[in-house]
Amino acid sequence: MKLPLTLFMSLGLGAALPLRAQTMPFQGLENLFTPPLGYVVQHTSQRLTMDGHLQESDWQRAPWTTDFVDIEGAKKPLPAFQTRVKMLWNDSTLFIAATLQEPQLWAYQTHHDDIIYKDNDFEVFIDPDNNAHQYFEVEVNALNKIFDLYLPKPYRDKGDALISWDVPGLRSGVALAGTLNQPRDQDQSWTVEMAVPLKAVRMGFPWQPPTEGTLWRINFSRVEWDTRAAGGKNVKVQDAAGKDLPEHNWVWSPQGVINMHYPERWGYLQFTRRAGTAWQLPAAELRKQYLWLVYYRQQQFRERTGHYAASLAELKLAPQAVVDKQVSQLALAATPYQFTATLTADGYAAIRINDEGLIETLKP
């Protein structure tokens, strides 16, 4: 979990748009509008032991996600080693399991809230409200050491991480297929198992457990360093200037940018108790893409001019958008230093985004 600079002006090109093909308003931002992945998480009544072995029958039945890819998506090569995740839930807990293929098992961060991504690690990002604010991050290494934090808003929006926050009641376990910190041998993998109390990753009152079809935003990241054996340890490979080579960032749902702190780019977690439930992206989530388009264009405009655009016309955006064969109306209210954009459509609740990237569904 590095804290990279957000460079709105240098966002590259990526895969095809999910929104009525590639059109001029999205040009140059295609990498930020590839469709996020979805996972339907099944309910369990089985007692699960957090030991990393995944021997319970419900774990055996739970489907794996697709294999992780590079954080930037299809524009980059596939990862060298397989990573995949599966999940279950009950009325109090979200269970997460991940298996990470790894020929060299090593970890040197030995305390809670050490900077775990200095090691190879597995990372979980959760936004239960799907509003791109008030989200949670948990990192774990092969020693089962945890780094957990809460973010009121992303770093790009001048948010600060609350590292002193810990996940109340978090349980985790790691199982190693190999030997730790023995660079002369070859290992196979490590498996993480984690039980996250649902109440622990919600802010405010009252708290209610997920109901049928509840959507959270979630993503997973794997940090992988290039290493070599030296002095009986795994040490990071360095460049000619003596600087560590950049880490690899492999994820479940591609971010499209080397930054995990774009919560709007995370995948979707759909809660269900019904067998055979299939994932389908709701139309309301498609409509939100036009609000994110305004947000990105406004950030670019401010970087060029020092202030926000006063109108959609200045951003070269139309006041209407067609999503799922229905016309939505897009409106912008802005001062030089703040803005809100609102999308409305007949029969649907209005959706609004502001200059800090807070996206909300408005009550009638």
* Phi-psi sector, 9: left (phi>0), alpha (psi -120 to 50), beta: alpha
Q: Are residues 107 and 206 in the same domain?
A: yes
**Distance from C-alpha of 96 to C-alpha of 218, rounded to nearest angstrom:** 11
Q: Does one domain contain both 27 and 40? A: no
Find out whether 268 and 252 touch, Cβ atoms under 8 Å. no
The answer on 77 and 114 residing in a single domain is: yes
- Final residue belonging to a domain, choices 222, 237, 272: 272
Residues 137, 196 within the same domain: yes
Residue 165 sits in the same domain as residue 55: yes
Q: The whole model's pTM is what?
A: 0.93
Number of domains in the chain: 2
User: What count of residues does the chain have?
Assistant: 364
CA nearest to 163, candidates 189, 136, 190? 136
Instruction: Provide the residue-wise pLDDT of the chain in tens; the chain has 364 residues.
Output: 554 433 333 333 333 344 443 358 899 999 999 999 999 999 999 999 999 999 999 999 999 999 999 999 999 999 999 999 999 999 999 999 999 999 999 999 999 999 999 999 999 999 999 999 999 999 999 999 999 999 999 999 999 999 999 999 999 999 999 999 999 999 999 999 999 999 999 887 778 899 999 999 999 999 999 999 999 999 999 999 999 999 999 999 999 999 999 999 999 999 999 999 999 899 899 999 999 999 999 999 999 999 999 999 999 999 999 988 899 999 999 999 999 999 999 999 999 999 999 999 998 7
Q: 267-272 and 38-43 as β-strands: parallel, antiparallel, unpaired?
A: parallel
Q: How far apart are CA 14 and CA 33, in angstroms?
A: 9
- What is the C-alpha separation between 149 and 27, in angstroms, rounded? 35
- In this structure, are 180 and 63 located in the same domain? yes
278 in any annotated domain = no
Residue 277, domain member (yes or no):
no
The amino acid that residue 15 corresponds to is A
End residue of a domain, out of 219, 243, 272: 272
* Same domain (yes/no): 171, 190: yes
| Residue 341 shares a structural domain with residue 320 | yes
Judgement on whether residues 228 and 349 belong to the same structural domain of the protein: no
Cα dihedral 224→230→233→239 (10° resolution): -30
Where b means 16+ CB within 10 Å and e means fewer, 31-43 reads bbbbbbbbbbbbb
Same domain, 42 and 30: no
Contact between 46 and 55 (Cβ < 8 Å): no
Q: Is residue 217 part of a domain?
A: yes
Q: Looking at the structure, do residues 237 and 331 belong to the same domain, yes or no?
A: no
**Domain extent at residue 314:** 1-35+283-364
Q: How far apart are CA 121 and CA 192, in angstroms?
A: 10
